Chains A and B, each alone.
Chain A
Amino acid sequence: MTKSRTASRSLAGACLCAFGVVFSPLAMAAPEGTLVVAVNQEPQDLAAQGAYKEINATGLRNVMETLIAVDPQTGGLIPVLATAWERVDGNTLRFTIREGVTFHDGTPMTAEAVATSINWVWSPDNAFTIQEYAGPGTISAAALDESTVEVTSDQADPLLEFRMSLGGISSAEQLANSPEKHFDTPVGTGPYRFNEWARGQYWDATYNEDWWGLSAEDAYGTTAPDFAALKFVFRSEDAARAAMVQSGEAQIAMFPSASECERAVDEDGYACVTGPSTTYLYGRLDHSLHADMLLQDPRIREAVFLSLDIDGIAGLYGMASVPQGQLGARGTIGFNENVGPYDYDPERAMELLAEAEADGQDISGLNIEVVGRDTTPRIKPIVEAIGAMLGSVGIGTDIRVQTPQEFNPRVRIAGYANEPGRQMMQVHVKQNPSGDYGLLLLSNYACPNIDDPTGPSRSSVYCDEEFDSSLFEAMASFGDDRDQSMQELVQYVHDRHLIVPLALLDRGYLVEDGIEFVFGTDHRIQAVYVDKVE
C-alpha cells in the first residue's frame, strides 16, 4: 500500500493540536499581528454560498458563518448561528437563532434575515454551485417567529442537517439594497470583518471586536481570535507558496506538493502537517449514455481497470492513500468492507482484450480519451501516467488537460449529450463531506436527466433503472437500513467497472513554527482554530 511518507508524522501533529488546547473565553490575549495564508487559487467570488467549499473561497468562513458547522476535532455538528435545532419530520428542521448577533454592516441577524439568506443560497433559480449538495429535494426556509427558522426540503432528506452546515448566512440588507456587492464584499457575522479584495493579489479581513463568540459560552474554535488581521494571498505556484512560509512571508501555505512536504522535514522554521480529506480522485469511464459500443463490453472495461497501477498513481499524487475499490473512505455510512481494491494485472488485461477481439470486437478502434481539468492539482502527470499505462497493454489513448470551460460541458449531461459516441475517461477530484454514501452514489451513478441539467447526477454516465430505484429507496431510509442498502449498491457498481477510484487524498499545510492549526476532513482555514504557541 502506498501511503504518504509524511502522514504518520503529521497525523501525530494534528492530534496534538486537536486535543492540546482547550478553549476558554477567559484566557484571552489582545489579538495582534496578521495571519498570512498562501492559498493556491483566487476565488471566483466571495458570495455567501461559497462558504460551502473551502477550496473555492478559502478563508471565507472567518467572515461568513453558518447556522451549524462540522467540528474539525470530532466530526460532529456544533452550534454556530443557531443555538439549537430539532427535526420536525423527514423533510423539516427547526432552528433556534442565536440572539444579539449583528452583521458586519450593523443590521441585526433576525430570523427573517436568516430565512432570506438560506432561500437565496439554495434557490434553484440562482443555480449556485452549492446545488451539487442539494437534491434530490428543493430546500426553502421561513421564519416562524423572532427566533425560529424552519427549513424544509420537498423530499424526505436525512442529510438536511449536513446541508445546513454548508451555506453562509449573509446580510439580508445587502441582498435587498446592493445585491451587486454580494459577490465581492461579503457581509457576515464572523470573528473577522471583510476588508478588501485586491484582484490578482489577496483578500483580507480585520478582527471583529463585536463578535458574538467573545462572550458566548458555546463559541466554536480552540481559541479566541489571536490575530488582528487575516490575509489570504493567491499564489498558484507550489514552490512559491512554500518559499513564502520558509521566508516568513506567510504563516500557513495551503496544499503543498508531496515533495515540498518532504522537504519541510529537513528545513528549520516550518513543518508540514497533513490529514485525510474527503476528496477522492477517480477515473470515470463512459458507459451507458453516448458511449462507444466498445465500452459496453464488460471484458474491455475490466481490461482498462486491470491495466491501471493504482498504487503507482496514488504514489504519484504524493499525499494520498489507495482506495478500497470504492470512492468513499472507511467510516462513511455505506462503506463496504468486503469490497477490495481493483487488481493491477496488465497480463490479464491483455488476455481479456484478446478474448474480446476473438469475439469480433475491433480492439484497434479502442482509443480512450483521458481528460483532466487544469484546475485539479497534479493532474498532468496523472493523466500522462494513465495514458502510458493503458498504452502498455495496447489500448490507444489521447490525453488532454482542459480548462473548466472546455472540460465541464464534456462531463455534464447537457454538454456530452451532444457528443457522438465516445470513449472518454474523465479523471477528476470530488469531495464527499457528508460522511454518507448517499450523495456520492447519487452524483456519480444515478441516471442523469437531460431535462434537469443542473440536477445532482448531471455528471453521471450510468443509466440503470434497477440501480436508481434501489438508490432512491436507500436515500430516504435512516439508520442501519440505510447503511446496509448502500453497501449493497457499492458492491453492485464495483462489479460493473464504472468508475475507478484512484486515490483518497490527504491534504496538508506548511505551517510556520510557533503556530498550531486544527483542521478537519473538510480542511477549513479558520483563525479561531489557529493558535500562537510558545
Chain B
Amino acid sequence: MDTNSIELEARKDARDVRVTGSDYLRAILKDRVALAASIFLVILVVFTLGAEFFAPHRPMGLNLRDGLLPPFSSGSKGEFYLLGTDELGRDIFSRLIYGARVSVSVGLIGAGLSCLLGVTMGLTAGYRGGLYEDIVMRLVDGMLSLPSLLVALFVLFVLGGGFVNLILVFSVLHWMVFARMARGLALDARTATYVQAAKSLGTTEIRIVFYHILPNVAAPIIVLLTLEIAILILSEASLSFLGFGVQPPDPSWGLMIADGREHIRSAWWLVTFPGLAIFLTALSLNLLANWVRAVTDPVQRWRWITAS
C-alpha cells in the first residue's frame, strides 16, 4: 500500500471510531505546543484559585522603602522579590497572581454569559425559524458590524467602570458570534435523523433543542468560547488601561501596565511582565482552541487519533 491509501484507511477508521477521553489525552501528549498551552492554563487556573496560598506577598502591601526593585532582588528586610516591585514596593509576582484572578474571571464570566445568551438565541432562532429568526439574525448582523470596543468604551463612560459593569457590557456586546454559530448548527441539526426521531416520539421542542441538538453541537461552541475568553481578556486589559475597566487598588493586568508606563524607561519589569502574562494567556487559549478544532473535526481527526 502506498502512503495515500494508508492515509485514506486511517481517515476512514478515525471517522468510525468512537473517541474516548483517553484518546484525547494521548493526542494532546503528542502535540507539544498544545500540551505546553494546556499546562500553562492549568497552572494559571491553579494560581488563580489559590492566590492566597501561592502569592509570596500581600498584593496591596505598601512598602515605600522597597520601591522599584528589579527582578531577583531582596528588600530591606531580606524578603525576596522574584519579579521585582512596583513604585509602592508591592511585589509584582503577587500582584500578577491576584491580577490573574480579575482578568481570568472577567474573561470566563463574560464569555460564559455571552455564550449562554448567544446560544439560547441562536438555537431557538434556528429551530423555530420564521419572523423570530429573522429579527434575531438581523440584530446579530447589525451588532456584529458595530465597533464593539468603542461602544463598550462609551457605555462604561456613562455607567462607570468596575468589574460588574465590565462583565455586563461584554455579555451584551459579544453574544452575537455564538448566536450565529448556534443557529447554523441548529439548522443542520433540525434535519438530522436523531432529531427527527425524537420529534416522532413526541418530545417537546425545548427538550429537543437543549437535550438533543445542543450536545451534538457542543464542540464548535467550545472552540468559539475559548477564543472569546482570549478576546475578552485582551479587551479587559485595554479598557482597564484606559481607566474604564477594573478600578484600583484591585490589581488587574491592564492596570498594572498602565501604572508602569511612567517608569517604562527605567523599570522595564513593571510593564513587561503583565504584558507577557496577558500575551501568554491569550496565546495558550488560541493554541488550545486550534487544537480542539483539529481533534474534533471529523475530517481531520485521523491525524490525531490513529490506531498507532
- State which of A58-66, A92-100, A227-235, A374-382 sits at the interface with chain B: A374-382
A259–B60 contact, CB under 8 A?
A: no
Contact A243:B259 (CB < 8 A) given known A385-B62, A401-B243: no
Query: Closest residue of chain A to B160, judged by CB?
Result: A406
Q: How far is the CB of A346 from chain B (nearest CB, A)?
A: 12
Contact of A242 among B88, B243, B247, B265 (CB under 8 A): B265
B88–A259 contact, CB under 8 A?
A: no
B207 contacts A by Cβ under 8 Å? no
B68 contacts A by Cβ under 8 Å? yes
- Among A243, A257, A309, max chain B CB count under 10 A is at A257
Convert B266-307 into 0s and 1s, putting 1 for each residue whose CB lies closer than 8 angstroms to a CB of A. Answer: 110000000000000000000000000000000000000000
Contact A237:B261 (CB < 8 A) given known A259-B266, A388-B61: yes
Query: Closest residue of chain A to B271, judged by CB?
Result: A239
A181 contacts B by Cβ under 8 Å? no
Contact A388:B62 (CB < 8 A) given known A316-B67, A381-B87, A381-B88: yes
Q: How far is the CB of B114 from chain A (nearest CB, A)?
A: 28
Query: Closest residue of chain A to B87, judged by CB?
Result: A381
B248 contacts A by Cβ under 8 Å? yes
For the complex, give the distance between the alpha carbons of A482 and B100 in Å. Answer: 58
Convert B64-107 into 0s and 1s, putting 1 for each residue whose CB lies closer than 8 angstroms to a CB of A. Answer: 10011000000000000000000110000000000000000000
A238 contacts B by Cβ under 8 Å? yes
A214 contacts B by Cβ under 8 Å? no
B7 contacts A by Cβ under 8 Å? no
For the complex, give the distance between the alpha carbons of A260 and B263 in Å. Answer: 8
Q: How far is the CB of B262 from chain A (nearest CB, A)?
A: 5
Task: List A residues 288-316 near B (Cβ within 8 Å).
Answer: 309, 312, 315-316
Q: How far is the CB of B275 from chain A (nearest CB, A)?
A: 15
Which residues of the partner chain B approach A532 to less than 8 Å between Cβ atoms?
A: none
How many residue pairs, one in A and one in B, have C-beta atoms under 8 Å apart? 58
Q: How far is the CB of B95 from chain A (nearest CB, A)?
A: 12
A3 contacts B by Cβ under 8 Å? no
Chain B binding surface SS class: loop
Which residues of the partner chain B approach A260 to less than 8 Å between Cβ atoms?
A: 265-266
Q: How far is the CB of A398 from chain B (nearest CB, A)?
A: 9
Q: How far is the CB of A518 from chain B (nearest CB, A)?
A: 27
Task: List B residues 159-185 near A (Cβ within 8 Å).
Answer: none
Contact A239:B60 (CB < 8 A) given known A380-B248, A384-B249, A399-B249: no
B264 contacts A by Cβ under 8 Å? yes
Which residues of the partner chain A approach B265 to less than 8 Å between Cβ atoms?
A: 239, 242-243, 259-260, 263
For the complex, give the distance between the alpha carbons of A229 and B67 in Å. Answer: 42
A259–B267 contact, CB under 8 A?
A: yes
Q: How far is the CB of A499 from chain B (nearest CB, A)?
A: 22
Which residues of the partner chain B approach A384 to less than 8 Å between Cβ atoms?
A: 88, 248-249
Q: How far is the CB of B86 from chain A (nearest CB, A)?
A: 8
Task: List A residues 311-350 near B (Cβ within 8 Å).
Answer: 312, 315-316
For the complex, give the distance between the alpha carbons of A315 and B67 in Å. Answer: 10
For the complex, give the distance between the alpha carbons of A328 and B68 in Å. Answer: 31
Tally chain A residues at the interface, Cβ within 8 Å: 29
Interface size class of B (residues with CB under 8 A): 20 to 34
Q: How far is the CB of A340 from chain B (nearest CB, A)?
A: 22
A21 contacts B by Cβ under 8 Å? no
Contact of B259 among A380, A388, A391 (CB under 8 A): A380
For the complex, give the distance between the alpha carbons of A401 and B267 in Å. Answer: 23
For the complex, give the distance between the alpha carbons of A391 and B61 in Å. Answer: 10
Contact of B64 among A263, A385, A401 (CB under 8 A): A385
Contact A400:B247 (CB < 8 A) given known A259-B267, A260-B266, A389-B62: yes
Which residues of the partner chain B approach A469 to less than 8 Å between Cβ atoms?
A: none
A392 contacts B by Cβ under 8 Å? yes
- Among B248, B261, B262, B267, max chain A CB count under 10 A is at B262
Query: Closest residue of chain B to A403, judged by CB?
Result: B243
Contact of B88 among A238, A316, A391, A392 (CB under 8 A): A316
For the complex, give the distance between the alpha carbons of A389 and B263 in Å. Answer: 23
Task: List A residues 340-386 near B (Cβ within 8 Å).
Answer: 374, 378, 380-381, 383-385
A276 contacts B by Cβ under 8 Å? no
For the complex, give the distance between the alpha carbons of A243 and B262 in Å. Answer: 12
Task: List B residues 34-57 near A (Cβ within 8 Å).
Answer: none
Q: How far is the CB of A408 from chain B (nearest CB, A)?
A: 16
B62–A239 contact, CB under 8 A?
A: no
For the complex, give the distance between the alpha carbons of A387 and B247 in Å. Answer: 13
Query: Closest residue of chain A to B68, judged by CB?
Result: A259
Q: How far is the CB of B117 from chain A (nearest CB, A)?
A: 31
For the complex, give the distance between the alpha carbons of A93 and B61 in Å. Answer: 56
Contact A399:B62 (CB < 8 A) given known A237-B261, A259-B68: no
For the complex, give the distance between the alpha carbons of A384 and B63 in Å. Answer: 12
- Among A383, A388, A400, max chain B CB count under 10 A is at A388
Q: How far is the CB of B240 from chain A (nearest CB, A)?
A: 12
Residues in B lying within 8 Å of A, measured CB to CB: 60-62, 64, 67-68, 87-88, 243, 247-249, 259, 261-267
Q: What 10 new A-B contacts, CB under 8 Å, besides A237-B261, A259-B262, A259-B265?
A: A239-B264, A239-B265, A259-B267, A260-B266, A381-B88, A384-B88, A385-B88, A388-B249, A399-B248, A401-B243
- Nearest 8 CB-CB pairs, A to B? A388-B62, A312-B64, A259-B266, A239-B264, A239-B265, A238-B262, A384-B249, A381-B87
